[in-house]
Amino acid sequence: MTGDGALVLLSGGQDSTVCLAWALARFDRVETVGFDYGQRHRVELDCRATIRDALRAHFPQWAPRLGDDHVVDLGVIGAVSDSALTREAEIRFDSEGLPTTFVPGRNLMFFTTAAALAYRRNLRHLVGGMCETDYSGYPDCRDDTLKALQVALNLGMARRFIVETPLMWIDKAATWALAQELGGDALVEIVRRDTHSCYRGDRSVQNDWGYGCNDCPACDLRRAGYVRWKDGT
């Protein structure tokens, strides 16, 4: 346990929820921030309060550590991007091999905005659920990108922020396993029931692995990871 505070980038999805539990197990003071950027799956923002309430209810040892929540309007991202996450466009892979759900600069703006907030809130650790093991290939999820960004943030704000990415080198099966390790069946159920990762924003059907369309890249990754974890492979 460390007295340093943490700000968790909580989208309302599986990965950021596991990262929030990871931070609550390590830091005395944890706050959360979400970003409204006109995302097609905006329903994820509606999940955030439910997730926070569920963590407080099921993990009383974490409740005193879970501090304020912040939601920041970053509509400029949606205004300047041409992505299937911010437009009613087909979800597919483009000629460069990236899915059309890639939103250029999104994580760079997320962390820069989070650092400005953390500066005011006197929080040192910035925690995000980025991963380059089981992921859609987004360049702003890569370890090199985030290490470089940490350097830029520290130079530009004259603070010693630490960008934490606890999922960077594990796959989705290991992310489910980490949820089990951190909070047992209760946390796994919160992830399965209360989080949202589907790019289409579909919460009409709850699958074994959670809500989603069962067809987009985010659902494919989440489902495959769940199956591997349950099978022990």
* CA–CA distance, 2 with 127 (Å, rounded to integer): 14
Dmax (CA) for the chain in angstroms is 49
The alpha-carbon radius of gyration of the chain (Å, integer) is 17
The vertex-79 CA angle with 77 and 83, nearest 5°, equals: 70
**Residue segments in the chain with a per-residue pLDDT below the cut of 50:** none
Are 35 and 10 spatial neighbours (Cβ–Cβ below 8 Å)? Answer: no
Q: Which single residue is written with the structure tokens 């759900």?
A: 101
- For the stretch 9-34, pLDDT in tens is 999 999 999 999 999 999 999 999 99
Helices (H) and strands (E) in the chain, counts: 7, 7
What is the per-residue pLDDT for 91? 58
Residues paired with 8 in a beta bridge? 32, 127
The pTM of this model reads: 0.92
Say yes or no: domain 2-231 is CATH 3.40.50.620. Answer: yes
Q: What is the pLDDT of residue 200?
A: 86
Burial of 95 (0-12, 13-18, 19+ CB in 10 A): exposed
CA distances (Å), origin 71, targets 46, 49, 81: 11, 11, 20
Question: Could you state, in order of their start, the residue ranges of all structural domains in the chain?
Answer: 2-231
SS3 73: strand
Chain centroid to CA 23: how far?
12
SS3 99: strand
